Structure 1
Amino acid sequence: MQSRTPVSRTGRPRSATADAAILAATRDALIELGWSKLTLGDVATRAGVAKTTLYRRWPGKNELVVDAVAVLFDELEMPDRGSLAADIEGVVLQFAAILVRPDTKSGLMAVVAESTRDDALRERIRASIVDRQKRLVLEGRSRAQRRGELPPETDPEEAARTVDLIFDMVAGAVVHRTLVSAEPVGPEWAEAFTRVLLLGLRGDGSQ
């Protein structure tokens, strides 16, 4: 008697269209209702999906809202503008343009505020937004090394620390400028910021 090989069941595949509709509905609800009044049931209604469809994808509001915000930052690209300085200026302008959008602003401010009393939410923000967007630093550094603008790294641990530091400096400055100070980030500001980032306060390489 031949043995039968079990058939693998992976379940119903996720719909990218449904996911996009749910995440967009989440951002719309945040703008209109704010964090405290947002419910998964309301999001499902806005997205035109069953509650079970939403709950299969996101077990709670924290996960849903972080993903709704994170996908906006996935639009960021490290442009190739011919030099490291110009590349940084380009991504800074992209980043600022995303931050001032009402859906980004309301979503990001909401999850950051809530994360001050929720360690699990803070970890999800770090994994889904911060760590995911460090790809931009890695790509920009690799391209600058190929151009001969930056030396190759010899110490992997030091290289990882540098990536973290650069990301924190860029993200911190742009978020503060746009969301805390509510000041514009235009080409002149991006150029001045990049100059300080690359050359330091002295600007002449002296210690």
Structure 2
Amino acid sequence: MAGDGADQVADPLTLKILDVVVALMREGGLAAVTTESVSAAASVSKATIYRRWPSMSKLVAEAATHAFPEVEVPDLGDVIAELRWFLTARIRQYAVPGSARLVASLIGASVSDDHVQSFFRDWVSGQSLSSRAVFERAAARGDFPASLDIDDLRTVMSAPVMFRAVAENGAPDEALVETTLTVLRALMVSGT
């Protein structure tokens, strides 16, 4: 179970360890997460940690997913309503104190550490699944011209929230969501 991203059905000890890793990352970034710090804070042995996760990279990747679970967006029949749903859920995740630090530390470490870069890329890809589904449904409904690239639209949608939280160290809010939706709506209407 552990190590596969399925923490919603994980045992209580696994969830406790994931909660500890998330708390450490929110308080001190990735540098705060060591086998020793996790072991001490969770009151478990190092062997217990390594039985569940073969590497710290896998543990951190699962903890990041635990902190930022995928946002499931229902089919509301309207791309803007669905994107509002997604972005509102995402800003709630960033509203948890230290969440921006957690993401910033992963971004920073991914630049210089190939292992972190690999799991960060996988984590971002996993985080993008539901937004991709929203845009794919919208494309199938003809909500925007086929000439628009879904990956580009996803980037335009996601970047403002992450930039506000991580780069500006600010709180993404409903006003930012509405501004982002206004930009996306204009792109989808113009097709360019």
Pairwise TM-score range, normalised by the shorter structure: 0.7 to 0.9
Structure 1 residues 56 and 178 mapped into 2: Cα distance closer, same or farther (>3 Å)? same
Residue identity opposite 1:90 in structure 2 = W
Equivalents in 1 of 2:39, 2:58: separation in Å?
Answer: 15
Aligned to 2:190: 205
Structure 1 residues not aligned, in runs of 5+: 1-13
Which residues in structure 2 correspond to 1:130-169 (within 5 Å)? 130-145=124-139, 147-150=141-144, 162-169=149-156
Q: Secondary structure at the match of 2:30?
A: coil
Measured after TM superposition, the shift of residue 87 of structure 1 is 1.1
Q: Give the drift of 1:132.
A: 0.9
Q: Which has the higher helix share?
A: 2
How many residue pairs match? The answer is: 184
The Cα shift of 1:81 comes to: 4.1
Listed one character per residue, the Cα deviations across residues 109-133 of structure 1 (whole Å, up to 9, x for unaligned) are: 2221112111221111111x21112
Query: Is the CA contact 1:93–1:185 (under 8 Å) kept in the aligned structure 2?
Result: no
Residues 6-17 of structure 1 correspond to what in structure 2 (within 5 A)? 15-17=10-12
Task: Choose the corresponding residue for 1:88, options 69, 83, 101.
Answer: 83
RMSD: 2.9
The yes-or-no answer on 1:74 pairing with 2:69 is yes
Gaps of at least 5 residues in structure 2 are 1-8
d(CA) in 2 for partners of 1:92, 1:30: 23
Q: Distance in 1 between matches of 2:76 and 2:189?
A: 24
Contact 2:144-2:191 at 8 Å conserved across structures? no
Counterpart in the other structure of 2:3 = none
Provide the secondary structure at the position in 1 that maps to 2:112. Answer: coil
Query: 1:129-182, CA deviations, whole angstroms, 9 ceiling, x for partnerless residues?
Result: 21112211332134325645357x6xxxx99xx333222222222100222223
TM-score normalized with structure 2 length: 0.79
Highest Rg: 1 or 2?
1
What is the CA distance between 1:58 and its match in structure 2?
2.3
Aligned equivalents of 1:111, 1:169: Cα separation in 2? 21
User: Cα 1:182–1:70, aligned 2, differ >3 Å: closer, same or farther?
Assistant: same
Identity %: 23
| Distance in 1 of aligned mates of 2:124 and 2:29 | 23
Alpha-carbon shift at residue 26 of structure 1 (Å): 0.7
Counterpart residue type for residue 175 of structure 2: E
Alpha-carbon distance in structure 1 between the residues aligned to 2:63 and 2:174? 28
